[in-house]
Amino acid sequence: MHKKRILLLSIFLVLLLAISVGAEDRRVLQCRVLARDFMTELKGELKTAIRGGRTVKAISVCKKMAPELAARYSLPSGVQVGRISERWRNPENRPDRWEQKGLAIFEKRRLQGKTLAGMEYWQEIEVEGKRSFRYLRAIPTGSLCLRCHGENISRKLKKALQKSYPEDQAVGFRLGELRGAFTITLSP
């Protein structure tokens, strides 16, 4: 019930903000709310799974719950929400060409000394005659991420990851590096 209330409140806030700002601003604000809420809920689920040193339980959160959350935040009215990374764990999280461009921009900014937290990239694009609004929000590698994506992963966890993700590329990250991005597409 609590999760449903958060989702309804998010939708209400997006609609309220949409009334008072221009078209692009409305879309950016809608994406910010969706990315923030998705990130907050996913991080909460990961913390709960990891609590008490049970890091292996976090694998099921990312494997099963993250796609379920993304589907729930995606709306039948043309909103798609997800996560992507150049060094993906799940092949379904590979970035497309536009997302690769955004990740490269984030990495360039990071190397220039800018903080990844809150970093965004958006653009209205046309593909095969259809216009859509694309949005990315950077995911910086935090201390929570390092348990499963860092350089020092336990043998037990490595074995569990290999079983769940045989093509895993999402290891060896350091604190503050670009882990990936939340990706949102708004289609009319």
CA distance 187 to 131: 7
The residue type at 39: M
Cα–Cα distance measured from residue 129 to residue 97, given in angstroms and rounded to the nearest whole number: 17
Residue-level pLDDT at 152: 92
Rounded to whole angstroms, how far apart are CA atoms 108 and 88?
Answer: 19
Flag whether pLDDT at 3 surpasses 70. Answer: no
Rg of the chain over all Cα atoms, to the nearest angstrom: 17
Give pTM, 2 decimals: 0.84
- pLDDT level of residue 21 (50, 70, 90 thresholds): very low
Say what the pLDDT of residue 50 is. 87
Q: pLDDT digit string (tens) for 43-73?
A: 999 999 888 777 888 898 889 999 999 999 9
Q: Residue 133, SS3?
A: strand
Angle value at C-alpha 89, between 88 and 90, nearest 5 degrees: 95
What's the burial of 144, exposed, middle or buried (CB within 10 Å: 0-12/13-18/19+)?
middle
Mean pLDDT of 144-172: 93
Looking at the predicted structure, is the pLDDT value of residue 14 above 60? no
Q: DSSP letter at 153?
A: -
Share of the chain above pLDDT 70, in %: 87
Whether 157 contacts 56, CB under 8 Å = yes
pLDDT category of residue 6 using cuts at 50, 70 and 90 = low
Q: What is the pLDDT of residue 20?
A: 46
Task: Please say if the pLDDT value at position 167 is more than 70.
Answer: yes
Q: Is the pLDDT of residue 109 over 90?
A: yes
What is residue 95's predicted lDDT score, i.e. its pLDDT?
98
